[in-house]
A and B are shown apart, each in its own frame.
Chain A
Amino acid sequence: MNEGTVVNVNTVIPFGPQHPVLPEPVQLRFKFEGERIVDVVPNIGYVHRAVERACELNDYKRNVTLCERICGICNFMHAMAYCESIEMITDTEVPERAKYLRTIWSELGRLQSHLLWLGLFVDSIGFESLFMHLWRDREIVLRLNEKTAGHRIQLSTCTIGGVKKDMDDRLIAEYRSSLAELKKRMDNLAPVFVKDRGVQARLVGKGILPKNKTSLLGAVGPTVRGSGIPQDMRTLGYEAYSYLDFKPVVYDMEDAYSRMLVRIGEIYQSIDLINRALNQMPNGPILQKNTVFPRGTAITRIEQPRGELFYYVAGNGTNKLERCRIRTPTLANIPALVTMLVDHEVADIPPVLLSVDPCVACTER
């Protein structure tokens, strides 16, 4: 090499699996040209737990508890998706009241997940006081969980053929008052996201996912809804969503800011949906016991806070399943995330990365 010539060498910086910004075990290897990212290579598999294999070895009724523990934040929806698939194979008719209760609790899960994510998101752009406000208000939802089922996070109320816990009038009144309080607090906090110049400066135009690329990359959930595509599994009308007149929240700015607005909109929408479900909920039984072993195959698609959750269950007429395939939304969002990150600078990595709401424990199962 001649003296004095400048050689353009790409720097590779590994991000994770342990990193203060993202407390989840995923590694992204960034290739830089100067300050600019030119390539991203994701590396997953640090916390693989072989849940799908365990589902085949376990009794099919025990799998409800196992599937519920795939993810901490969207635990109820995992259990619900599994139960729905088994109900589909065994022709179990779920009572109306149980359908409404499942809807209410899955929306409650969405509320606490979105509040948690919003807190982490603003923390990643350095807005720590807002993070504390949001996590304090998330406590309202966690208290409701605790009073419903005796646990702050793991509801464990879903079972094959319905639900295990019922809500009495006192609890319903408490739900209404707590959600009204949460809405009031969100009314105080939401303008900060929408109007604050600091937040806008960090997010507008960052992490662009073009509308025409979303289907090619297979992105799901709020990530595509932030790019102007009204794709939401709740429009399929599973459980009680068909009675609740549901319309997805869509923004079309295609950037991280737009995805944040989608989630803020969904917080309000969830509060609305829960209130409507509480008003419409009929009286009656909550559990229809199934008596036959699963035989056949079923596919379930439900909307998690992060996007579409897919369950494929195959039974062979014994108490053990032949196959249980689970695809979680973050896995579908990784290709989109990789495209979003290219051409950004180091300081933009945390907000863009968190804008897809990665849940790695979910992804690796």
Chain B
Amino acid sequence: MKPKFGVVVFPGSNCDHDAYYAVRKVLGFDAEFLWHKETDLKGCDIIILPGGFSYGDYLRTGAIAQFSPIMDSVYKFAENGGVVIGICNGFQILLEIGLLSGVMIKNESLKFVCKNIYLGIENKDSIFTKSISKKILKFPVAHGEGNYFTDESTLKTLETNNQILFRYISPSGELDSRFNPNGSLNNIAGIMNQKKNVMGLMPHPERCCDPILGNSDGALIFQSVANSFLN
């Protein structure tokens, strides 16, 4: 079955069109925008919460968006095993609503970081990474609050349950704090929930899908998720 992607649009989302373009125009899947005031997921199989500054990032990133009407449906969809991808601000929303554990605090540098980084794939068995043969991915990051934090016991659970999906590494694969753009715990760039159907990541795969941009590593993730429906 060819999956249908749904891209949620919050007031202040600014990567919604990039995500739509990536899955629809580059990868050729059916896709639809889902306005945050709606509650109908319109038969979508994979929900993307895009990057941006939902509700102006006021109070805390993602804090207000979690109460948008569509998020009730997204929460239930995820609880029933539906696939949800939160990118950057989407990741922050997933943390606030509690579909993923932890919080995002300000980057250690206090600066907004916008550059290409390298990711090591920590869990190759997830639906998000299964069909990726590359070991290191190059993605852009663009955030001020990507400093992932959680308590020790949650971190331990994430590690032992293989819920950590991506870590920041060097271009040659070295794991060191020097290659961590924001100070996140254990260089964490992306995690999953326990059931492994919900993923959040700070880097932007949707911004590096079209080969004309010189980097199409991002497409590998969307293709991998789609493959789990096709196979």
The finding on whether chains A and B are genuine partners in a shared complex, rather than unrelated, reads no
Residues in B lying within 8 Å of A, measured CB to CB:
none
